[in-house]
Amino acid sequence: MQVHQRDEIILPVFFFRVILWVMVRLINNKNVIVLKKAISGYMQLQKYFTHILEVNNKNLKPCIYAMWHADQFCVYGVEDKAHLSILISTSFDGDIVAYSCEGLGFKTVRGSSGKRGAIESTLKMVELLNDGECVAIMVDGPNGPLHSVKNGVIRLAKMSGAPIIPVGWYCPQWNFVKLPSWDKMTAPLGHAEILNLYGEPIYVPKDLPQDKEADIRTQLKAALDDIHKRLPEVYMEAKKNNEWKKLKK
């Protein structure tokens, strides 16, 4: 039985390794539209098998959803997708991700790690937040280090006055796959009952001194770490209460 379970886990991981290998070798300007449509098609199909239970989402508007890069697909659990903009890099693979997200009904803001690109994307997100919309940021992206909160989300909250809402997702099923990438990104493959767990809002005063921003980064990291510690227990409790069956009714 143990060998069978191990095989079940290895197969989808192997599948995604092959997909990543093929993508790396195929991505170029001539066939990027083919890859965009292929990835978007997978995500469009997967949405029918993805069942996300949200716990403690206060649905504040505006707000800044903050997650680790590994949990980036958790935004699919947010109900009001039409008023949620996701920050996505201007990289080549970012084009593919942005195309797929927009196909699912989200809006996107493109930004880079360079100073000019970061300023432009920040100002755009401040504008969206001031209009009462929400944004989502992978706080250790786009290139890591893993689980290290960058300054961008803190300064965005400071400029806009919108609260930061930490969030993580979890599923113990074998087909909730961890990809072999730097961020250890997780994604469902087939039917999956997933839990989104939200932390308490973190407000950043507009007059917060720059030398105090590190304290907020520490607070946000602690909140995300706490969410991930609690996720398995909260998941099992929800499973015991048949919450996903209620969700499907």
| The pLDDT value given to residue 159 | 96
Domains of the chain: 2-248 (3.40.1010.10)
- The pLDDT mean for the chain works out to 86
Which band of pLDDT confidence, cut at 50, 70 and 90, is reported for residue 25? low
How many Cβ atoms sit within 10 Å of the Cβ of residue 178?
15
Tens of pLDDT, residue by residue over 53-65, are: 999 999 999 999 9
Gap between the Cα atoms of 62 and 64, Å rounded: 7
Burial of 249 (C-beta count, 10 Å sphere; 0-12/13-18/19+): exposed
Q: Quick check: bond before 201 cis, omega within 30?
A: no
Please give the single-letter amino acid code of residue 63. Answer: C
| The pLDDT value given to residue 179 | 81
Which band of pLDDT confidence, cut at 50, 70 and 90, is reported for residue 124? very high
Percentage of the chain modeled with pLDDT above 90? 63
| The pLDDT value given to residue 199 | 98
| The pLDDT value given to residue 19 | 55
Which band of pLDDT confidence, cut at 50, 70 and 90, is reported for residue 221? very high
> Pseudo-torsion of CA 97, 103, 109, 114, nearest 10°?
20
Tens of pLDDT, residue by residue over 82-109, are: 999 999 988 877 888 888 889 899 999 9
